[in-house]
């Protein structure tokens, strides 16, 4: 009740005088870790470095509301942004930078427009039960063969609309997916300038669709790109939700190479046996270069064993070496040809004190091949101090204490 009253107060302050808004609430999620973080020596021969760090894992806050508009229909909105919680001089708070949209929902389904996680990314909730805090495969390997190099979509300049600066007459601004740069892009990200549909659940089955419009269509020099994308998924749960499985297919047009479409396929799911919950993931992406295809494969397994009010959680994931046909020298992770895969594993225990508060401890590491540079979102600056990413061949690892609070 207090949360809804606070939401009404916030909404009232934002609304025009005399307009009453109902069923509005403020909500949020704070997920932070404290621990020792280490980068091993890298391929270039730089030494290892160990440091202490406080990290924030996708902490966020927002407001959302619903209104009955008659005939069984409900109008709704959500505005959500990141809450950096640390290193705020490097990470700006950008309004509506996370899942933010407006839509209508009824017994026919849910249709909305704005910025939201893709159906592909939503499948991670089916299997990723093995992570304590934010140090897991979903924030490092699964869905993440992207790079932040110097070869973005031809309409971009590695910048995007949430704070990027356009290059007049040369390149325009793009959203965070299009502006990722290099060979490939993030399949795990949310998309903006998009429309979405989620079907009702029939016999445990739900279908999700997302279309990112070709808002970025433009000509840069002699190159014309018309970037747009589809993301689709179907998922099923049964036996009271204990068994779940889903499949996704994405088609990303003109992202890596103008005139070509990158594709991806994923299957993810799990089975809760009561004494143990197991999750599995498989995904395959094909990035289209002018010189040939670039194929990536990732697999993962997760485990949760309940103990009292907590659980032991563990994960293991592998990114296979990229099929180098047409990919050299711009590999999606690291540089150079071959030896560009990685492995990651983590183990820990978290204890749920209440519905809102969880505290845990754990260890996590990524083993990078000599030409790969996989990293977790939110890790501290590397050995050189210039960027919060791994150097090629450097293995990040951390021992940590984590706290999550929901409101």
Say whether pLDDT at 42 is over 80. Answer: yes
pLDDT given at position 328: 45
- The model carries a pTM of 0.84
- For position 191, which CATH number holds? 2.40.160
3-state helix/strand/coil string of 194-241: EEEEECCCECCEEEEEEEECCCCCEEECCEEECCEEEEEEEEEEECCC
Give me 225's structure tokens.
Answer: 């790109």
pLDDT at 18 over 60: no
In the chain, % of residues over pLDDT 70: 77
Q: 235 or 141, which is more confident?
A: 235
Count of domains in the chain? 1
Average pLDDT over residues 106-133: 95
Query: For residue 71, is it within any domain?
Result: no
d(CA 293, CA 289): 6
Higher pLDDT, 1 or 341: 341
Confidence band (pLDDT; 50, 70, 90) for 166?
Answer: very low
Other beta carbons within 10 Å of 53:
17
* Reported confidence tier of residue 168, pLDDT bands at 50, 70, 90: very low
Q: Is the pLDDT of residue 87 over 70?
A: no
pLDDT confidence tier of residue 90, bands split at 50, 70 and 90? low
Q: Is the pLDDT of residue 131 over 50?
A: yes
pLDDT digits (tens, 9 = 90+) for 350-404: 999 999 999 999 999 999 988 888 889 888 888 777 677 788 889 999 999 999 9
For residue 138, the 8-state DSSP code is G
| 75-99 mean pLDDT | 81
Residue 375 lies in a domain: yes
Where in the sequence is the domain holding 192, given as residue range(s)?
35-54+116-406
In a domain, 343, yes or no: yes
Average pLDDT, integer, range 6-14: 49
Residue at 4 is within a domain: no
Report if residue 60 sits inside a domain: no
Is the pLDDT confidence value at 98 over 70? yes
Averaged confidence pLDDT in the chain: 82
Read off the pLDDT of residues 305-337 as tens digits, 9 standing for 90 and up.
999 999 999 999 999 887 655 554 334 444 445
Q: Are 362 and 392 in contact (CB under 8 A)?
A: no
Q: Is residue 299 part of a domain?
A: yes
Residue 67 lies in a domain: no
C-alpha distance from residue 26 to each of 18, 61, 212, 255, 350 (Å)? 21, 7, 28, 36, 26
The answer to whether residue 13 is domain-embedded is no
Of residues 174 and 111, more confidence is placed in 111
């Amino acid at each position: 009740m207090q949360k809804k009253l606070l939401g009404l107060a916030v909404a009232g302050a934002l609304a025009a005088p005399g307009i009453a808004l109902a069923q509005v609430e403020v909500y949020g999620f704070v997920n932070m870790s404290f621990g020792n973080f280490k980068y091993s020596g890298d391929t270039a021969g730089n030494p290892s470095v160990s440091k202490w760090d406080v990290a924030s894992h996708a902490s966020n806050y927002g407001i959302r509301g619903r209104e009955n508009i008659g005939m069984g229909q409900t109008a709704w909105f959500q505005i959500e942004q990141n809450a950096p919680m640390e290193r705020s001089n490097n990470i700006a708070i950008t309004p509506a930078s996370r899942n933010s949209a407006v839509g209508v929902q009824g017994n026919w389904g849910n249709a909305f427009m704005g910025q939201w996680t893709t159906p592909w990314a939503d499948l991670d909730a089916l299997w990723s039960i093995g992570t304590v805090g934010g140090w897991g495969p979903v924030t490092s390997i699964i869905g993440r063969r992207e790079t932040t190099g110097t070869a973005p979509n031809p309409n971009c300049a590695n910048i995007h609309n949430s704070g990027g600066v356009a290059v007049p007459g040369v390149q325009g601004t793009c959203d965070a997916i299009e502006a990722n740069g290099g060979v490939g892009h993030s399949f795990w990200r949310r998309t903006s300038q998009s429309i979405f549909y989620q079907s009702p659940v029939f016999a445990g089955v739900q279908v999700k669709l997302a279309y990112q419009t070709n808002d970025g269509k433009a000509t840069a020099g002699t190159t014309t790109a018309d970037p747009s994308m589809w993301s689709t998924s179907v998922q099923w749960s049964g036996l009271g939700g204990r068994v779940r499985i889903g499949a996704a297919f994405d088609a990303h047009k003109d992202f890596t190479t103008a005139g070509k479409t990158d594709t991806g396929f994923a299957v993810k799911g799990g089975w809760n046996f009561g004494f143990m919950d197991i999750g599995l993931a498989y995904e395959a992406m094909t990035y289209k270069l002018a010189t040939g295809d670039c194929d990536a494969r990732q697999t993962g397994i997760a485990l949760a064993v309940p103990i009292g009010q907590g659980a032991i959680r563990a994960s293991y994931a592998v990114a296979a070496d990229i099929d180098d046909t047409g990919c050299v020298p711009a590999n999606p992770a690291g540089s150079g040809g071959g030896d560009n895969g990685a492995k990651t594993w983590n183990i820990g225990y978290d204890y749920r004190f209440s519905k809102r508060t969880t505290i845990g401890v754990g260890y996590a590491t990524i083993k990078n091949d000599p030409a790969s540079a996989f990293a977790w979102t939110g890790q501290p600056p590397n050995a050189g101090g210039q960027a919060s990413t791994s150097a090629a061949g450097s293995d990040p690892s951390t021992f940590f204490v984590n706290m999550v609070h929901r409101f």
